[in-house]
Amino acid sequence: MRSDERRATNDGVAREPLALINYIVRNDLPFTEMLTADYMMVNSYSARTYGIENLPFSGSNDGSEFLPARLEGVPHAGILTSPMFLNRYPTTSTNRNRGRARVVFDLFLDTEVLAIEGMRPGNSVDITTPIPTINNPECSKCHSLIDPIASVFQNWNHKGQYRPARLSKYGWYADMEARGFNGESMPLAGNIDSSVQWLANQIVGDPKFPRSVTRIMVNGLTGKEPLSAPNSTSSSQVEVDAYIAERTLLNGMQSHFVSDGFRLKTLIEEIMMSPYWQADGLSVDANPIAHANTGSSYLLTPEQLDRKVASLFGFEWRRSLDNYYKDINSSSTSRLNKTFHQIYGGIDSDSVTTRLKSPNGLMSAMQLRMANELVCYAVPRDFWLPEAQRKLFLFVDHEMNPYDESGALDEAVMVRIRQNIQFLHVYLLGEELPIGSEELVITEQLFMSSLNRGRQIILASGGERSDITLPSDCDVTKDFNGAQLYEKDVRDDRLVQDRHYVIRAWMAVAAYLLADFKFLYS
């Protein structure tokens, strides 16, 4: 119980920035409030941690419910003063918030400070200039940008704790630029203890803010970063044209986003309806360089793939397929969310912060293993369910053998098999194909070849028990609550045998589709 509360509390603190964005979008608030919100989001557990009382939670133990709240005496500034932001980007006595300032430029102003043209001094230790970051031109080139913003965060320490200026023991560093933004000094009157709030308002009024939000949303929805500005000396004309075309489109999206009151839904709609998202394929004569960013396909993250599996099958990919009932409400055994999370390109937001966007050999092997393990459990279970409750097999059952007693193909059964193959392509891959199309014919051939191979094995052994019985991990001997499906003198409701190899042939089809590009990518 205590460990559950600790987990829910940690989750409440950790998810606060995401909960804020969720709250803003659901309530149709301007997305600028991501930085200017004078409140934070808490669940019932994190509220107790912060000492916040009397919030109208619908359920005291519902860790998924977040409400806006304020900490007394703390000048909230949306994500910028979130404990997670400040701890994810900590500082030291020598860094002096410069790391935080760099992230502010990157995330909210579409500016990579480290990419600013110029050369860092060969010897970064300057002992001759009184204050190199101010007086040495090679140093001040970048520091004149980041140091004023770094100084803005002076009321927040390395742990993300707020400290008013009057409580500061030593004051701020005299050898740093004063608080400011974009060449403008911050007025001290009314801002001395709430300078991050002042900064937030400056950022959302800067034209680079909507450009930055657009870049982040394009990457999140398409898996691709917008094209970088071409190099004036080395870039080809095709690359220049591609950049201009994309930039023109993105500028239009930004304009609509801003004119509609910074509604994020507007920006999402603009991106999803753009030719870069809608593009289905390129013509033969299309220049691949010009269309490098066309299309929205990207490898699903382990979290996304886990949710997709759960949505389609009603359960996650877990370690013990016949024991779902034991931990159906726990994600601790989810292979994609826990066991193989980082192996499949996930991040831990600590030492690993960059997701893999292309599968390596190990990830490809995981994809095949997942496909085979999932169908082992899902296919027999689906056949076992009443027809009205099935997700996968709406047109066939596990005894629907395409061969009649004489060994000839039953065309009426084949029609049902083709209908179900067509349905599986729609349900698992989202592709609507007409009966007789090449893809469906290939899948049908896989079903028949798997079935025929199994029939030969069964025939050669004379129907040995080991050949007609499903693997123990795949059979159905318990219901979804863990109750045994057969007791002495009671009707046997188990699904253990596959005498005609029909179930295993459908397993081959389902595994083939789950390992398909269209299932693993978005």
Average pLDDT of span 329-358: 80
Write down the pLDDT at residue 499. Answer: 93
* Stretch among 60-74, 347-361, 395-409, 425-439 having the lowest mean pLDDT: 347-361
Strands 67-69 and 40-42: antiparallel
Question: What token pair was written down for 417?
Answer: 């098999």
Average pLDDT of span 88-108: 93
Backbone dihedral angles phi then psi of residue 449, each to the nearest 5 degrees? -65, -40
Please tell me whether residue 4 adopts helix, strand or coil conformation: helix
User: In whole angstroms, what is the distance from residue 28 CA to residue 346 CA?
Assistant: 31
Question: Is the distance from CB of 458 to CB of 504 less than 8 angstroms?
Answer: no
Q: How confident is the model at residue 319 (pLDDT cuts 50, 70, 90)?
A: low
In this structure, how many other beta carbons lie within 10 angstroms of the beta carbon of residue 5?
13
Write down the pLDDT at residue 100. Answer: 95
Write down the pLDDT at residue 140. Answer: 66
More confident residue, 113 or 206: 206
Question: What token pair was written down for 202?
Answer: 């400056």
Cα radius of gyration (the chain): 29
User: In whole angstroms, what is the distance from residue 148 CA to residue 96 CA?
Assistant: 11
Question: Over the stretch 176-205, which tens digit does the pLDDT of each residue have?
Answer: 889 999 989 999 998 999 999 999 999 999
- Of the candidates 40, 355, 80, the residue with the CA atom closest to the CA atom of residue 89: 80
Average pLDDT of span 274-297: 72
pLDDT of 388 > 70? The answer is: yes
Question: Is the distance from CB of 215 to CB of 228 less than 8 angstroms?
Answer: no
Backbone dihedral angles phi then psi of residue 156, each to the nearest 5 degrees? -120, 120
Question: Is the distance from CB of 277 to CB of 221 less than 8 angstroms?
Answer: yes
Sign (positive or negative) of CA dihedral 230, 231, 234, 240: positive
User: In whole angstroms, what is the distance from residue 339 CA to residue 331 CA?
Assistant: 10
Instruction: Say what angle helices 16-26 and 2-14 make with each other, to 10 degrees.
Output: 60
Write down the pLDDT at residue 60. Answer: 67
User: In whole angstroms, what is the distance from residue 196 CA to residue 35 CA?
Assistant: 9
Question: Over the stretch 19-77, which tens digit does the pLDDT of each residue have?
Answer: 999 999 999 999 999 999 999 999 999 999 999 998 999 876 778 899 999 999 999 99
* Stretch among 73-82, 318-327, 498-507 having the lowest mean pLDDT: 318-327
More confident residue, 389 or 231: 389
User: In whole angstroms, what is the distance from residue 473 CA to residue 319 CA?
Assistant: 11
DSSP state of 434: -
Q: Which residues pair with 478 in a beta bridge?
A: 484
Write down the pLDDT at residue 446. Answer: 97
Residues 6+ apart with CB under 8 A from 230: 239, 240, 243
Question: Over the stretch 426-449, which tens digit does the pLDDT of each residue have?
Answer: 999 999 999 999 999 999 999 999
User: In whole angstroms, what is the distance from residue 335 CA to residue 306 CA?
Assistant: 8
Sequence-ordered alpha helix ranges (H) in 301-437: 302-313, 361-384, 411-429
- Of the candidates 134, 138, 33, 12, the residue with the CA atom closest to the CA atom of residue 77: 33
Average pLDDT of span 494-518: 95
Q: How confident is the model at residue 128 (pLDDT cuts 50, 70, 90)?
A: low
Write down the pLDDT at residue 489. Answer: 77
Question: Is the distance from CB of 31 to CB of 24 less than 8 angstroms?
Answer: yes
- Of the candidates 310, 375, 324, the residue with the CA atom closest to the CA atom of residue 481: 324
pLDDT of 327 > 60? The answer is: no
Q: Which residues pair with 409 in a beta bridge?
A: 403
Q: Which residues pair with 68 in a beta bridge?
A: 41
pLDDT of 509 > 70? The answer is: yes
Write down the pLDDT at residue 4. Answer: 78
More confident residue, 138 or 421: 421
User: In whole angstroms, what is the distance from residue 143 CA to residue 131 CA?
Assistant: 11
- Per-position DSSP letters for 349-367, written without gaps between them: SSS------S--HHHHHHH
Question: Is the distance from CB of 91 to CB of 100 less than 8 angstroms?
Answer: yes
- Of the candidates 106, 108, 113, the residue with the CA atom closest to the CA atom of residue 36: 108
User: In whole angstroms, what is the distance from residue 319 CA to residue 297 CA?
Assistant: 29
**439 CB-contact burial (10 Å; exposed 0-12 / middle 13-18 / buried 19+):** middle
pLDDT of 141 > 80? The answer is: no
Average per-residue pLDDT in the chain?
88
Write down the pLDDT at residue 132. Answer: 66
* Stretch among 80-94, 375-389, 474-488 having the lowest mean pLDDT: 474-488
pLDDT of 146 > 70? The answer is: yes
Question: What token pair was written down for 416?
Answer: 């049902």
Question: Is the distance from CB of 79 to CB of 34 less than 8 angstroms?
Answer: yes
Write down the pLDDT at residue 118. Answer: 55
Q: Which residues pair with 243 in a beta bridge?
A: none
